Amino acid sequence: MKGVFIIADGLGGRPSDLAGKTCLEAARTPNLDELARRGAIGLIDPIRPGVRPGSDTAHLSLLGYDPYEVYTGRGVYECLGIGIDVEPGDVCFRANFATVEETPDGLKLLDRRAGRIESGQEALAQALTQIELSDGVKFAFKASTQHRGALRLRGEGLTRHVSENDPHKTGVVIPDAQPLSDDPGARRTAAAVNEFTRKSYEVLKDHPVNRERIAAGKPPANIVLLRGAADLPHLEPIAKVYKVRGAVIAGAALYRGVALACGMTRIDAPGATGGVDTDLVSKAKTAIEALNELDYVFIHVKGTDNKGHDQDAAGKMRFIERIDAELIGTLMEKLDWSETHLAFTGDHTTPIDYGDHTAEPVPILYVGPNVRTDATTEFGERAAGRGGLGRWSGRALPILFNYNNWAPKFGS
């Protein structure tokens, strides 16, 4: 048996999205509707009813973990997702290139995203390798998309109990990261964070990339701010629990990182971007090919959430239509449906009017030979409220695995 697990990020919507319909309800989705007809649908609370999910916590929960037990912060998944290896005891951060200017009071933040810098980040990251930190602390830094990156600190006794030095608003002086516990390790970690950020400014302020940016009237990427401190939680690997091997196909680093932390391998689909311009046919084809070797694939698409955050209802609806036509359409054509179970859902609701995550449950669809079909003939939020699967919280992937007879028995 094979498994295909698909999360469309921020899939859920509200009636206010498009004149009484959610984007998903308004979208033309003949393939998802056909899968709903062949399978069964229901409502899933990504974490728990009324809990407004982050992307990381929602994914942990949908993949079968209790985020209240295992969540330590986002930085660790960002590091893993962009290819920084992480060991127990390391402390990881989300990083962003930002623009500051020197003032008598300190470094004042002018742009949190350095003008959403689009090129030269690799050269800036390369320059940062010359930084040396005190106290025996080692680091690894990588740039990812635009202004984003991630930092791993490694050293004795470091902890994630430190505050961030990203003030999240412009016009203020960059604060020092502070220890959040009395542990001497928290003081050492805060000192390393502050030292890295201070030295990043020294290294970047006159870097050729930034001299060019300034000459072109663009804000220089002259500092690295750090947030989301996290260490590696113990996540019992999927391969150990279920005895199956799978891979993640995701354009955005965070989701790759969560999947890697759960023990999946990473496969990069050509043209997958983590945005609305992603190549969805390529993702489907990459998944189908991967299933020749592996038991399951987890495909993540991000554009739905991006368009929700952008408050672009038409764009979100169109991207859902592309998911239906390109991703689902290709999979429907190429999968061997006699021996495959597929699940399709979102990790939370991102309504257009609010432009951020909300806690409503999201529709979920299971299809394959072992699914007890229901009477529903369309896929959407309100259809899912009438679906035969009812409503429950989290564990979407373990439920898919159960249809494939991969679930371990609890008790005897």
Q: Which is nearer to its own copies, 25 or 111 (CB)?
A: 25
- In whole angstroms, how close is the CB of 205 to its own copies at the nearest point? 29
- In whole angstroms, how close is the CB of 326 to its own copies at the nearest point? 27
- Cα 345 from Cα 330, distance rounded (Å): 17
Question: Taking the mean position of all CA atoms in its chain, how far away is CA 202?
Answer: 31
- In whole angstroms, how close is the CB of 393 to its own copies at the nearest point? 7
At a CB cut-off of 8 Å and minimum separation 6, what does 65 contact?
235, 262
CB 223 within 8 A of CB 175: no
Q: Nearest CA to 60 among 73, 41, 42? A: 73
- In whole angstroms, how close is the CB of 399 to its own copies at the nearest point? 4
Q: Which is nearer to its own copies, 86 or 284 (CB)?
A: 86
Q: Which is nearer to its own copies, 100 or 296 (CB)?
A: 296
Q: Which is nearer to its own copies, 17 or 195 (CB)?
A: 17
Q: Which is nearer to its own copies, 21 or 283 (CB)?
A: 21
Pinpoint the alpha helices (H) of 88-134.
121-128
- In whole angstroms, how close is the CB of 328 to its own copies at the nearest point? 22
Q: Which residue has the tokens 């939370």?
A: 348
Q: Nearest CA to 29 among 386, 332, 368, 340? A: 332
Question: 247 by DSSP, 3-state: which?
Answer: strand
Q: Which is nearer to its own copies, 155 or 274 (CB)?
A: 274
Binding site for its own copies (CB under 8 A): 14-16, 22, 40, 42-43, 45, 47-58, 64, 67, 71, 74, 228, 351, 353-354, 356-361, 369-375, 381-382, 385-395, 398-399, 401-402, 405, 407-412
Q: Which is nearer to its own copies, 330 or 345 (CB)?
A: 345
- In whole angstroms, how close is the CB of 391 to its own copies at the nearest point? 3
- In whole angstroms, how close is the CB of 352 to its own copies at the nearest point? 11
- In whole angstroms, how close is the CB of 213 to its own copies at the nearest point? 28
Q: Nearest CA to 335 among 291, 283, 293? A: 291
- In whole angstroms, how close is the CB of 134 to its own copies at the nearest point? 29
Q: Which residue has the tokens 């003939």?
A: 377
Cα distances (angstroms) measured from residue 93 to each of 116, 131, 193? 19, 17, 9
Q: Which residue has the tokens 């990473």?
A: 266
Q: Nearest CA to 259 among 276, 229, 285, 239? A: 239
- In whole angstroms, how close is the CB of 253 to its own copies at the nearest point? 13
Q: Which is nearer to its own copies, 184 or 390 (CB)?
A: 390
Q: Nearest CA to 406 among 274, 296, 302? A: 296
Question: Crossing angle of helices 208-215/121-128, nearest 10°?
Answer: 140
- Cα 288 from Cα 147, distance rounded (Å): 33
Element (H, E) at 148: strand 148-154
Q: Which amino acid appears at position 366 of this protein?
A: Y
Q: Which is nearer to its own copies, 179 or 361 (CB)?
A: 361
DSSP structural state of residue 139: E
Tokens of 133: 């930190």
CB 13 within 8 A of CB 316: yes
Q: Which is nearer to its own copies, 58 or 327 (CB)?
A: 58
- Cα 167 from Cα 307, distance rounded (Å): 26
